[in-house]
Structure 1
Amino acid sequence: MDGYTSQPHSSNGKASGYGYPMTQSPRFTVFIERDYSQGIQVKFQEKFPPELDGKMDPTTFQTIIQRLNEIYEDAETPNCATAWENCIGCCTCYMAFLFMESRYNKFLKKARAYIAEQNRQLSSSGITIVDPYERGMRLIEIRVR
């Protein structure tokens, strides 16, 4: 298997991809798997899947995946703010996170907003990208109707 799986997907009529209901069942779904070639950090394969040929521009696809990879890389990069956040969390038995948002969650929100923006732009093409967080950060699901 080359990392891409295309199979029929049944829709239950609920919203998909953060507020964008599918008006009809998707014809097929493409899964973009994680790229573990450089370790276990969150990074997705940037190779254009042949199933999307004619449905989505390869440059657009690569731009989206690269931007998501950048956001997740920034989220996982340790820095002084991360160290301080961990110290505060440890000293307060992690009760501080009831009142403040973690740096990682801020980046997850940033990725979610980016995906929602891309879904608005791609909706005319019948393409919906599902947030990888909904799939345990294991894959990016792209639904084509």
Structure 2
Amino acid sequence: MARNNGTIDLNGKKRVFIPRDYSIGIQVRFSTEFPEELIRKIDENAWKDIIMELNAKYSALEGVSTASIIETILGCASCYLIRCCTVPLCEKKMNEVGRFIDELNQDVLVPRGLYLSNPMERGLRCLEVTVLNEDAEVAPVVAEPVKITTPLQPRL
């Protein structure tokens, strides 16, 4: 784990991807299954608590409230010029989730040799957990010759 000026080098480290859970719909929700790559790095119950907390925060982010309705109406009425004056509620909540992930990394995960990337960096498709004290396994790439079974004919 290389640290320079408070930053962590994530290049060349082993990564574990936690997929989205679509079992109850398309809302942002990540799988709570415990990946075997994290065994002996973090307690299974602690991991599930982290994922459930993230799922709850993303559920609240998608929720409809009076404030979000008013914000949408004012946005439509002003041709969205109001967004020049105020920070949208959704953006505030996304920043809150980002701060939560940063605090989680600092207090819980990095001391255990793990780093959770913000899922917004991957379009909320998956959670990316980097194992800081393990290098990525690089499989050798062997190029196989291309075999053409039928000769190519130009089109006329």
Change in Cα spacing, 1:95 to 1:126, as seen in structure 2 (3 Å) is: same
- The more displaced of 96-105 and 109-118 is 96-105
| Aligned-pair Cα RMSD in Å | 2.1
Give the % identical residues: 34
Structure 2 residue 112 is the aligned partner of structure 1 residue 125: yes
* Shift, 1:21, TM fit: 1.6
Partner of residue 144 from structure 1, selected from 119, 131, 154: 131
Rg larger for: 2
Q: Deviations over 1:75-130 (max 9, x none)?
A: 11112111101001101111111221111111111110110011112212111000
Q: Which runs of 5+ in 1 are unaligned?
A: 1-12
Task: Please give the TM-score of this superposition, normalised by the length of structure 1.
Answer: 0.82
- Partner of residue 90 from structure 1, selected from 59, 76, 80: 76
Deviation for aligned residue 1:133: 0.4
The amino acid across from 2:94 in the alignment is L
How many residue pairs are counted as aligned between the two chains? 129
The Cα of 1:24 is off from its aligned counterpart by 7.1
Deviating above 6 A after TM superposition, structure 1's stretches of 4 or more consecutive aligned residues are none
Q: In structure 1, which of residues 114, 117, 141 is the aligned counterpart of residue 100 of structure 2?
A: 114
Q: CA deviation at 1:22?
A: 2.4
2: CA distance, partners of 1:125 / 1:106: 29
Deviation at 1:58, TM superposition (A): 1.0
Q: CA deviation at 1:23?
A: 7.3
